[in-house]
Structure 1
């Protein structure tokens, strides 16, 4: 389990045995936050369990005023904060009460996806998503092109821009100087993560946490997006300090008091950002009080709405020593479009997250139908609806084939509706996280990437490494590996037309399919000659611990 910053009263231990391992980790993640905010205090944690559709409430205002719980707590846990702090002369004499709502034992990221606002445009969008996805994609493409133009020039630098304005009030109001960390504190790394659930960026973030542990550094991991955090129980997080922030709105108030407490309690050797708005907004304050700390962010994908996290990286470039980029296209955007100095950008691909790319081609048994697969989150970025429209076109063409959709997410209900609408029951097989991706790839003849935006997908590397060629939309830096007729136009109509044509050819010509895979394997091997992100980060952490 993650390392708690509290000592548990003996009488409270029985309550922990009655909840799931994930719920215990959620509780410790909440306790760590409140221990840092109330150093030395006795904490009375009144704990409730949410419904299957509710997010946990671990740190937000509801945990202070009691509104996090709708009824009586299921149980109460008493702990003592082991944190230190300069903000108070002595711990409070009376217990500090906090109300904590844990996630339901069966809650998942899919069940806790908050409902969208019931505005007229949103209702129209949802109706188009269910009834006319091809029309919706055309409208979405128009919006995408406008957003592409909006980020085709330099973005504002701190202190300008919306993100800086959001955090500046908290920065300006917090004038306290943090004390030095305890002299006996072990060297640590502050990690800022989006959340702890399935995702390519999260896989890499968790790997870097393990690399830090291997280097003898204590990972202090802070997430800033609501989730049930199903990865809290992963072995890479064993022995780490985990703090999972929760909040009521998407743009939560910047909690500089948390940053202050972290600097006072941990002997930080460096800062590592993985898609974390809270930590970007905290960087000016960290730089003011710990200017010697090296700061690295890891960037994957340019979002068309404001640039996403690479956009934040550009805005806060003055406070970042090195921007780690996973693809050549991202390097180009950071340096040529955003004007970031090339010496500050390190290209190191995530090739080490996949299996060895020297595997052999996976031949197809001609007695079996040609199998195409979608592997990824059921999210609007991944466009599972476009995959289903492709399957529907192939079904009408009479090509004998089979389809697998492997993933889960907020579009699960839309996907189910489209499967029924297109009459795809019995043609498409749905799989979820409990099935290993390797098992799906072993049955796949062609991986199809339908995303509207990407960096380079990890599934592309995984498929090629498993002996499976990839057909992809022309997005992000996918063309680094996928080229020629295997790279289809991004808009849904031309993508589906081009993809159906390629699939028809590959299904009829096994030699052509092997040739396309060989071409992609050669590009993977060439790309793999670059120092991998794994090795680059391993060297970085060894220097931080020197």
Structure 2
């Protein structure tokens, strides 16, 4: 890496502020991959709350996913320092978290949960080791525990009286608050929503509040230069000050939340100081034991103007928890995937090709796909072929199980590639997730004439044939999946019947106005006011 050229580009990305740095070899390797825009986006949250003074950054690397924000724990091994800006006041110290070269090369380790202290680290290590050694047993326990969780997530309602001297907004700037810039269905919709907003005339500000490699950050920079990697540099106690400065600097008029803890945490005070800002969110999945982001959205519903939900299940949950139906906009994620192949109406003979598509994460349960394949192989399933496409933090575990279960010649592994090519190569999409909303991949699969077999979670029953729904409990999942896959391989009439029923269900969902259509129209109306 030409460090002088990197420094020049970093100064440009920081609006001309002076920059100097010292880097280890590993930090240089990481920053050569990430680029100066990435580093600037991670520095900007800290610089925003410390304007007018020199800023000192310690650069650290995190080697496990999900990544920690090392600013929360006071840093880790130092891989470099950077100094930005000038000023008479003494420089402030901050910690900035970078991914390791191993994470960027796809050789990451994986840990369950957040690890902010010794006790949490110990629990995480035990849980992670158990998942690595006996995933079926641990997952069975997790499903049993999840089943015991209650369904109501609504807290007490709030009465709000805004400050008399509140801040007026005059611009047309939208803050798009995202979880991270990684691959996923929620993120795919977030990019589309942001694109529609920009197309309608909004200026955009995009934040990410979860530490991550941010592999899709280029998509944010394609939409705006105002990008902030909060989760890689800023401690939570500084979030309120950051939000206040963000609103002031950019004159925010609208806020759209996509699974963002930062934005949800800011809503109560934002409603007191900036009551004119219009706030909307999009939610996808009901997490176990508390509801996750859906639970937070329902809890804070009094602070939001509109809830965009993607499935009938979420409509029912919001209304059951007392949310005004007039605030709900049910619009599925149909119609914005442009690379689907031509649909098929029959299998066409030969081996039944079964696919897994998605991030290699605990939620997606790739181990369950592999164990289903192993069980089919053990049962003599020569009429079946298996293909896995995806990458993620469980890559090492998947590679190990591939060898341990002797699947190298039975399960084909593929890295991320266009969805159209993958769907053209399979007959059945096997969704093993422990939790989902209404998967975009299921809609894409149906458009390509691919039959979906899925764990009966979330709102999957809205788009999956009844007989193709499988128990979420892992042992029962494997047993029923093997039985059904072998039957489908031998009975093309059964395949055609389930595919037809699936198509009828998807048609009912597709009859609903899509999220893209709704927001294109919605933003036209907003801009016309």
User: What residue is the counterpart of 2:42 in the other structure?
Assistant: 30
Contact 2:19/2:85 (8 A) holds in 1: no
Contact 1:58/1:244 (8 A) holds in 2: no
Contact 1:103/1:228 (8 A) holds in 2: yes
User: What residue is the counterpart of 1:426 in the other structure?
Assistant: 409
Matched, 1:70 2:78: yes
In the TM superposition, residue 364 of structure 1 has moved relative to its aligned partner by: 4.5
1:138 and 1:58 map into 2 onto residues whose CA distance is: 31
- Partner of 1:324, secondary structure, is strand
Taking a change above 3 Å as real, the CA distance of residues 364 and 536 of structure 1, as seen in their structure-2 partners, is same
Taking a change above 3 Å as real, the CA distance of residues 221 and 255 of structure 1, as seen in their structure-2 partners, is same
Matched, 1:143 2:184: no
1:335 and 1:329 map into 2 onto residues whose CA distance is: 10
1:227 and 1:124 map into 2 onto residues whose CA distance is: 23
Q: Deviation per CA, 1:391-441, whole angstroms, max 9, x where unpaired?
A: 1111011122211122222323332333333222211122222x2232221
Contact 2:340/2:419 (8 A) holds in 1: no
Contact 1:3/1:241 (8 A) holds in 2: no
Contact 2:54/2:84 (8 A) holds in 1: yes
Alignment of 1:246-395 (within 5 A): 246=231, 252-253=236-237, 255-336=239-320, 338-355=321-338, 359-361=342-344, 364=347, 366-367=349-350, 369-395=351-377
User: What residue is the counterpart of 2:15 in the other structure?
Assistant: 7
In the TM superposition, residue 188 of structure 1 has moved relative to its aligned partner by: 0.5
1:130 and 1:55 map into 2 onto residues whose CA distance is: 15
- Partner of 1:382, secondary structure, is coil
User: What residue is the counterpart of 1:171 in the other structure?
Assistant: none
2:281 and 2:108 map into 1 onto residues whose CA distance is: 31
Taking a change above 3 Å as real, the CA distance of residues 58 and 237 of structure 1, as seen in their structure-2 partners, is farther
- Partner of 1:378, secondary structure, is coil
1:308 and 1:210 map into 2 onto residues whose CA distance is: 26
Q: 1:133 aligns with which of 108, 132, 135?
A: 135
Taking a change above 3 Å as real, the CA distance of residues 542 and 95 of structure 1, as seen in their structure-2 partners, is farther
Contact 2:196/2:520 (8 A) holds in 1: yes
Taking a change above 3 Å as real, the CA distance of residues 17 and 7 of structure 1, as seen in their structure-2 partners, is farther
Q: 1:473 aligns with which of 441, 447, 455?
A: 455
Uncovered stretches (5+) of structure 2, i.e. residues with no partner: 1-8, 114-118
Contact 2:107/2:396 (8 A) holds in 1: no
1:350 and 1:328 map into 2 onto residues whose CA distance is: 12
Contact 1:157/1:316 (8 A) holds in 2: no
Contact 1:325/1:349 (8 A) holds in 2: yes
User: What residue is the counterpart of 1:156 in the other structure?
Assistant: 155
Moved more, 534-543 or 119-128: 119-128
Q: Deviation per CA, 1:123-144, whole angstroms, max 9, x where unpaired?
A: 6644543444333333222101
- Partner of 1:453, secondary structure, is coil
1:118 and 1:17 map into 2 onto residues whose CA distance is: 31
In the TM superposition, residue 195 of structure 1 has moved relative to its aligned partner by: 0.6
2:405 and 2:341 map into 1 onto residues whose CA distance is: 39
Taking a change above 3 Å as real, the CA distance of residues 328 and 92 of structure 1, as seen in their structure-2 partners, is farther
Q: Deviation per CA, 1:163-219, whole angstroms, max 9, x where unpaired?
A: xxxxxxxxxxxx9978667x7xx5211121111101111111111111111111111
Uncovered stretches (5+) of structure 1, i.e. residues with no partner: 81-90, 161-174
Contact 1:178/1:264 (8 A) holds in 2: no
Q: CA RMSD in A?
A: 3.7
Matched, 1:483 2:432: no
User: What residue is the counterpart of 1:83 in the other structure?
Assistant: none
2:204 and 2:409 map into 1 onto residues whose CA distance is: 46
Matched, 1:217 2:202: yes
In the TM superposition, residue 230 of structure 1 has moved relative to its aligned partner by: 0.8
User: What residue is the counterpart of 1:541 in the other structure?
Assistant: 523
Contact 1:419/1:425 (8 A) holds in 2: yes
Contact 2:281/2:306 (8 A) holds in 1: yes
Matched, 1:502 2:499: no
2:332 and 2:65 map into 1 onto residues whose CA distance is: 36
Alignment of 1:183-262 (within 5 A): 187-234=172-219, 237-246=222-231, 252-253=236-237, 255-262=239-246
Moved more, 463-472 or 325-334: 463-472
User: What residue is the counterpart of 2:398 in the other structure?
Assistant: 415
Q: TM-score, normalised by structure 1?
A: 0.82
Contact 1:460/1:470 (8 A) holds in 2: yes
Taking a change above 3 Å as real, the CA distance of residues 498 and 277 of structure 1, as seen in their structure-2 partners, is same
Matched, 1:523 2:523: no
- Partner of 1:372, secondary structure, is strand
Q: Deviation per CA, 1:252-291, whole angstroms, max 9, x where unpaired?
A: 3361111111221122221111001111111111111111
Contact 2:97/2:232 (8 A) holds in 1: no
Q: Deviation per CA, 1:512-531, whole angstroms, max 9, x where unpaired?
A: 32332232223222211111
Contact 1:382/1:450 (8 A) holds in 2: yes
